[in-house]
Amino acid sequence: MLPPPVEAAIAQILQAARATGKFAGIQVFSPPAAAPRIAQGFRYVSVMSEFEMVRDTAAEILRAIPR
């Protein structure tokens, strides 16, 4: 959960999108953070950044290689 003023701004953005017939999107930085935003009504939820995905996948590959 983000600070209350930030959550209020996010809710306002979601409401404005709905009022104009648009789908609202939000960026989150972990899979557990995605579910509450989907439940809140966001239709597009981006989890992590491309950099984080590449970094995490590279780390997983390196861990899988015997040394």
Q: What is the pLDDT of residue 30?
A: 87
Q: In a 10 Å sphere around its CB, with 0-12 CB exposed, 13-18 middle and 19+ buried, how is residue 32 labelled? A: exposed
Q: Domain residue spans in the chain?
A: 4-64
pLDDT class of 25 with cuts at 50, 70, 90: very high
Q: Which helix (H) or strand (E) holds 29?
A: none
Q: Residue 26: which of 16, 38, 8, 15 has the closest Cα?
A: 38
Q: What is the mean pLDDT of residues 35-43?
A: 96
Q: How far is the CA of 10 from the CAs of 37, 51, 56, in angstroms?
A: 10, 24, 28
What pTM, to 2 d.p., does this model score? 0.72
